[in-house]
């Protein structure tokens, strides 16, 4: 359940933020937040750890950038092209990886994503080490000028909310319930007659498609796509964002993305490559002591206080 | 023999040798990964970082203490294994009862820390390390020129892999190890100190990676990121060989190296992706890997 007041407060906050903070930073945050939410649909609600999500983010970012820059498509079609790329990659990865579970699944998605990375490294259109630069921002629907950063922010916010609501709907649908049952006990879900593989594949493709949307948005926001977007450390970053915010919670990935992106943004210039080390330390601490994440812990405390004798469901 | 399979034999054998060398490293690394996985049920994401630390260990011993290659070949794995024991006791020990995925995530974090620290200290440009004088030069085999050091690497890798296989399949200690992999509680009930056995296994796996790192130092440059992309190839090798199979990990290591070398000779564009294509084919034809047992 999503308490309506919280959600409204969240909306108002998002609408007001660009007048307080730097809009480009916020847009990048929203892109990563959507990416983390899409990833969480898979890890938190289906119980599958993909270590290859960078391929969906980066692959679709490259195609979206290519569409806008070389094919000169309008921005909405470029984003669509990127999202489709993410979806298709998701179908391909999913069909191969879904036969395996747990660690195997993580390793296979990682290897598949590395293939996409090497392709991006070698393929001429990605610009190799330089990446794809100076991607133009065309007018939205041909009329709205997006070169103004605050206007662009509202466009990105609308896309983010659309993605977020899709995930919200999926989680609270019968389909989402089946995904959760697979996470909790796959064998029982099979014995109840569900074709588990199909549900997992569907969740994987949806997650890949939304990651593709996030990647395309990112390409339009920063107007640059670099190889680091497809590199496997990006897959690690999204795991960290989800974990630190709270796996299997609705708002957790957003909080996690906010923490990590702010850290990179504000501390990056002072600390340089220490940021990677700090991220590693946070990773280890999270895994050892803080597995429910910020939102997970908060929810548990609140629920404990309200309903001391009832079972706690951190997913609601 | 002017032409061999459509190309000059020097080139053909040269690439094959390069593949064999890479395969030797893949085999040593995937072996350690497989042993650790079998015992701790943890996919050690920090394995590539350990290999890098091994290479740096040799470099540091040489440049700070003046200790040469041969002592370093013994000393570095021991030091790294000791560090491995500390890590296992401090971090990994707490993860055994959790989902396997947490082990992978924790070691991922460790890899970030280790590689980050070395990058901070040494930058990302490679540091040179001399080939030991006894192994400089090469032998002319008639059809190709074989550098002595590379022959040594392949030989050592084969000895090491065989030795590890022997240790695990043919000795009493190995029997305890295998028994613990099968049923931890039962082995404990027989009075064997299982936690100590687990620590020893981790130290062994980590030591193997460090050993590979020392041997890699003269061939590839010593670089904080040298294990960074390698670890993913190693994952693919382990998937191809079959998770938890020692023989599978070793043979798949050489196989992947050779296939990579041949691809480099015939179709260089695909040489960095062929491992993953091989992995996909294996997964479709034999989902549990070439030597893996059906679950």
Contact check, Cβ <8 Å, B112/A283: yes
Alpha-carbon distance A315 to nearest alpha carbon in chain B (angstroms): 18
SS3 of A147-210: CCHHHHHHHHHHHHHHHHHHHHHHHCCHHHHHHHHHHHCHHHHHHCCCCHHHHHHHHHHHHHHH
Smallest CA–CA distance from A112 into chain B, residue: B276
Mean per-residue pLDDT over chain A, rounded: 87
| CB-count exposure of residue A186 (10 Å: 0-12, 13-18, 19+) | middle
Using left for φ > 0, alpha for ψ between -120 and 50, and beta otherwise, residue A122 falls in: alpha
Take residue B171 and report the two structure tokens written for it: 């000795």
How many H helices and E strands in chain A?
Answer: 14, 0
Any domain includes A278: no
Take residue A138 and report the two structure tokens written for it: 């065309």
Contact check, Cβ <8 Å, B101/A282: no
The residues near B255 (Cβ < 8 Å, ≥ 6 apart) are B23, B240
| CB-count exposure of residue B121 (10 Å: 0-12, 13-18, 19+) | exposed
Q: Is A123 on the interface with B (CB under 8 A)?
A: no
β-pairing, B138-140 with B145-147? Answer: antiparallel
Using left for φ > 0, alpha for ψ between -120 and 50, and beta otherwise, residue A224 falls in: beta
Any domain includes A283: no
A239-279 confidence digits (pLDDT tens): 999 999 988 888 899 999 999 999 888 887 787 778 889 88
| DSSP calls for B6-63 | TB-HHHHHHHHHHHHHHHHHHHHHHHHHHHHHHHH----TTHHHHHHHHHHHHHHHHH
Contact check, Cβ <8 Å, B108/A283: yes
Phi/psi of residue A22, nearest 5 degrees: -65, 120
Q: Looking at the 3D structure of chain A, how many domains does it have?
A: 1
Q: How far is Cα A49 from Cα A195, in angstroms, rounded to an integer?
A: 20
Confidence at A103, pLDDT banded by 50, 70, 90: confident
A14-48 confidence digits (pLDDT tens): 888 888 888 889 999 999 999 999 999 999 999 89
Alpha-carbon distance A172 to nearest alpha carbon in chain B (angstroms): 25
Any domain includes A59: yes
- What is the three-class DSSP state of A143? coil
B255-273 confidence digits (pLDDT tens): 999 999 989 888 888 888 8
Q: How far is Cα A60 from Cα A225, in angstroms, rounded to an integer?
A: 10
Contact check, Cβ <8 Å, A100/B119: no
Any domain includes A57: yes
Smallest CA–CA distance from B92 into chain A, residue: A288
Smallest CA–CA distance from A106 into chain B, residue: B101
Any domain includes A29: yes
Any domain includes A83: yes
Write out residues in chain B with pLDDT < 70, as ranges.
1-5, 293-295
pLDDT above 90 coverage of chain A, percent: 46
Q: How far is Cα A74 from Cα A135, in angstroms, rounded to an integer?
A: 12
A43-101 confidence digits (pLDDT tens): 999 989 999 999 999 999 999 998 888 888 888 899 999 999 999 999 999 998 888 87
Q: Is A125 on the interface with B (CB under 8 A)?
A: no
Contact check, Cβ <8 Å, B239/A284: no
Residues of A (238-277) whose Cβ lies below 8 Å from B: 239, 243, 273-274, 276-277
Phi/psi of residue B138, nearest 5 degrees: -155, 180
pLDDT of residue A305: 58
CA-to-CA dists, residue B141 to A133, A274, B147, B157, angstroms? 50, 49, 10, 21
pLDDT above 70 coverage of chain A, percent: 95
Contact check, Cβ <8 Å, B276/A115: yes
Confidence at A164, pLDDT banded by 50, 70, 90: very high
> Closest partner residue to B120 among A273, A279, A288, by Cβ?
A273
Which residues of B fall within a CB distance of 8 Å from A118? 272-273
Phi/psi of residue A215, nearest 5 degrees: -65, -45
- What is the three-class DSSP state of B222? strand
The stretch A159-174 carries a mean pLDDT of 93
Contact check, Cβ <8 Å, A112/B102: no
Query: Which of A130-134, A138-142, B197-201 tops mean pLDDT?
Result: B197-201
> How many A×B Cβ pairs under 8 Å?
110
The stretch A190-199 carries a mean pLDDT of 92
Any domain includes A27: yes
Contact check, Cβ <8 Å, A110/B232: yes
Nearest to B245 by CA among B161, B186, B125, B183: B161
More confident residue, A147 or B5: A147
Contact check, Cβ <8 Å, A236/B108: yes
Tell me which residue range forms the domain holding A42.
23-230
Q: How far is Cα B22 from Cα A315, in angstroms, rounded to an integer?
A: 46
Any domain includes A254: no
Phi/psi of residue B145, nearest 5 degrees: -100, 125
Residue A311 has pLDDT above 50, yes or no: no
Which residues of A fall within a CB distance of 8 Å from B43? 103, 106-107
Interface test with A, best of B260, B276, B278 (most A CBs within 10 A): B276
Take residue B235 and report the two structure tokens written for it: 């994952």
Q: How far is Cα B241 from Cα B248, in angstroms, rounded to an integer?
A: 4
Alpha-carbon distance B278 to nearest alpha carbon in chain A (angstroms): 11
Residue A303 has pLDDT above 50, yes or no: yes
Confidence at A309, pLDDT banded by 50, 70, 90: very low
């Amino acid at each position: 359940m999503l308490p309506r007041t919280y959600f409204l407060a969240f909306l108002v906050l998002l609408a007001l933020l660009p007048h307080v903070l730097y809009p480009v930073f916020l847009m990048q945050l929203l892109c990563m937040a959507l990416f983390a939410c899409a990833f969480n649909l898979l890890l938190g609600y289906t119980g599958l750890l993909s270590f290859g999500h960078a391929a969906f983010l980066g692959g679709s970012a490259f195609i979206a950038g290519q569409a806008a820059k070389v094919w000169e498509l309008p921005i909405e079609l470029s984003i669509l092209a990127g999202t489709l790329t993410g979806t298709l990659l998701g179908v391909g990865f999913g069909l191969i990886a879904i036969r395996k579970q747990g660690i195997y699944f993580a390793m296979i998605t990682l290897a598949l994503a590395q293939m996409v990375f090497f392709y991006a490294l070698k393929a001429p259109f990605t610009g190799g080490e330089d990446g794809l630069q100076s991607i133009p921002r065309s007018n939205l629907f041909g009329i709205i000028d997006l070169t103004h950063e605050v206007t662009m922010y509202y466009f990105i916010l609308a896309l983010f909310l659309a993605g977020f609501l899709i995930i919200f709907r999926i989680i609270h649908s019968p389909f989402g319930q089946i995904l959760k049952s697979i996470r909790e006990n796959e064998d029982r879900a099979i014995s109840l007659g569900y074709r588990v593989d199909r549900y997992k594949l569907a969740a994987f493709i949806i997650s890949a498609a939304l990651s593709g949307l996030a990647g395309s948005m990112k390409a339009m926001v920063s107007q640059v796509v670099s190889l680091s977007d497809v590199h496997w450390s990006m897959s690690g970053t999204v795991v960290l964002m989800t974990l630190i915010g709270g796996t299997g919670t609705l708002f957790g990935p957003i909080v996690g993305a906010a923490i990590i992106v702010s850290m990179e943004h504000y501390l990056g210039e002072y600390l340089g490559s220490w940021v990677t080390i700090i991220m590693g330390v946070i990773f280890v601490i999270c895994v050892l002591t803080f597995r429910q994440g910020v939102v997970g812990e908060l929810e548990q405390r609140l629920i404990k206080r309200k309903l001391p004798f009832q079972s706690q469901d951190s997913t609601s | 023999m002017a032409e061999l399979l459509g190309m000059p034999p020097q080139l053909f054998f040269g690439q094959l040798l390069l593949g064999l060398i890479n395969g030797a490293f893949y085999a040593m690394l995937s072996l350690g990964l497989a042993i650790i996985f079998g015992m701790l049920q943890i996919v050690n994401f920090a394995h590539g970082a350990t290999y890098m630390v091994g290479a740096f260990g040799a470099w540091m011993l040489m440049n700070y203490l003046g200790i040469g290659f041969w002592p370093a070949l013994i000393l570095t794995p021991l030091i790294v294994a000791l560090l491995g024991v500390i890590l296992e006791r401090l971090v990994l020990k707490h993860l055994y009862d959790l989902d396997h995925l947490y082990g992978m995530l924790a070691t991922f974090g460790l890899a970030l820390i280790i590689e980050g620290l070395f990058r901070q200290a040494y930058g990302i440009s490679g540091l040179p390390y001399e080939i030991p004088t006894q192994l400089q030069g090469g032998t002319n085999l008639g059809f190709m020129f074989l550098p002595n050091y590379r022959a040594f690497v392949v030989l050592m890798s084969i000895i090491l892999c065989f030795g590890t296989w022997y240790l695990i399949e043919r000795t009493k200690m190995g029997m305890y190890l295998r028994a613990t992999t099968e049923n931890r509680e039962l082995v404990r009930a027989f009075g064997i100190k299982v936690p100590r056995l687990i620590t020893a296994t981790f130290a062994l796996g980590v030591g193997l990676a460090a050993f590979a790192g020392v041997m890699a130092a003269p061939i590839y440059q010593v670089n904080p990121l040298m294990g960074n992309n390698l670890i993913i190839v190693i994952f693919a090798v382990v998937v191809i060989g079959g998770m938890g199979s020692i023989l599978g990990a070793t043979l798949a290591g050489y196989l992947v190296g050779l296939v990579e070398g041949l691809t480099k000779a015939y179709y260089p564009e695909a040489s960095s992706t062929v491992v993953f294509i091989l992995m996909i084919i294996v997964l479709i034809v034999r989902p549990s890997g070439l030597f893996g047992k059906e679950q």
